[in-house]
A = this chain, B = another copy of it.
Amino acid sequence: MATIRDVAAQAGVNPSTVSRVFSGKAKISEQTQQRVMSAAEALGFQPNAIARSLSVRRTNTIAVVVPHIYDGYFDDSFFPQIMRGLLQAAYPLDYRVLVGGSDSHADVITQTFQILRSHQADGIVVASSRLDVDTVGALVAQGVPFVLIGKPPAHYADVTWVDADNEVCTANVVTHLIHQGHRRIAFVGGDPAVAVTGERFRGYQRAMAGAGLSYCERWVDYGYFAEAGGYKAVERMLPLGADAPTAYYAANDLMAVGILRALRDHQIAVPQQVSVIGTNDSAEATHVVPALTTLRVPYADMAATAATLLIDMILADEPLPPVQEVLPCTLIERHSSGPVAA
């Protein structure tokens, strides 16, 4: 493969001149440019990005690490939407996305640091904030550009993140159900170790309290984002009889689908007897029967915003003030929810 020296020799100029022609920044005479370009063409020359990266200390790459060990991670719309947003924002800025795998939740942080400290990427977007590992603290200590998708723990005020308005949106959904006459509303959260789960639960509590309703602890369950988790939640709550919920809010659509299935298996009509609302507006939401009412979370937009902010940070010479962006969710009303039975 031809190098900059080969081109220089062929064009009869100094290698630095070839470099200048390709970087496009310095003024080079029209004539020299022509000579260099035709020599480059003749030799099939393309600058070596690795050598360039070493020299300028910039890779034009942002990273993300993905717990590939969890099959279910690839069933949800979360992952593809995140990738879509990252790519759509990175592409026009001439950035690529480096994806690292990870073996476990704890390994996510190991891999993140390996990529960052070995300079394989200029910065990272961290897409899964868990409460059991202090990713943020470690990242801050490292002094490398990063942006979070999802809020950090409260004591990290000066960190850049983008999130959906989880607490408020969840509260709105619950309030919506309350307006439809529901009083006994179930909260089926995802993984309690994930920060967003807590935010949603607070939204739920706030809405209930705001309406002067008290909730019973048996209306709260965690389904770990799996369809089976939703199914089990229903089976645990149905025995409450007259105290069983008339509406379920689930933190993703997969769990909502499990809830629908459990209800169907128990001959409970949706939405006539019980309402169900999911989250994410995944592909299956429109395909289940009845079509799922769901809280649409703009993951692709969030990822695109995160990538844009990250690249801004990378390109800036000085540290940038932290920015926090909160994107709104939208309730998509379909046919799985409605007024409480008379």
- A47 part of interface (Cβ distance < 8 Å): yes
A47 near B118 with CB under 8 A, answer: yes
- A10 part of interface (Cβ distance < 8 Å): no
In the assembled complex, the Cα of A115 lies from the Cα of B100 at a distance in Å of 17
Tell me the smallest distance from the CB of A18 to a CB of chain B, in Å: 15
Instruction: Pick the residue among B47, B61, B88, B101 that contacts A91 (CB under 8 A).
Output: B101
- A257 part of interface (Cβ distance < 8 Å): yes
Tell me the smallest distance from the CB of A299 to a CB of chain B, in Å: 10
In the assembled complex, the Cα of A69 lies from the Cα of B48 at a distance in Å of 27
A interface size (C-beta, 8 A): 50
A120 near B83 with CB under 8 A, answer: no
Tell me the smallest distance from the CB of A104 to a CB of chain B, in Å: 11
Q: Which of A73, A83, A115 has the most CB of B within 10 A?
A: A83
A98 near B101 with CB under 8 A, answer: no
B75 near A87 with CB under 8 A, answer: no
Tell me the smallest distance from the CB of A342 to a CB of chain B, in Å: 27
The residue on B at minimum CB distance from A103 is B91
CB proximity to B under 8 Å, residues A57-112: 59, 61, 66, 68-69, 71, 73-75, 77, 79-81, 83-84, 87-88, 90-91, 96-103
- A336 part of interface (Cβ distance < 8 Å): no
The residue on B at minimum CB distance from A82 is B74
A75 proximity list for chain B (CB < 8 A) = 77, 80, 283
In the assembled complex, the Cα of A172 lies from the Cα of B257 at a distance in Å of 32
A51 proximity list for chain B (CB < 8 A) = 54
A88 proximity list for chain B (CB < 8 A) = 68-69, 101
Closest 6 CB pairs of A and B: A91-B101, A68-B87, A49-B118, A46-B117, A87-B101, A74-B80
In the complex, per-residue mask of A34-62: 1 if CB is within 8 Å of any chain B CB, else 0:
00000000000011111101100001010
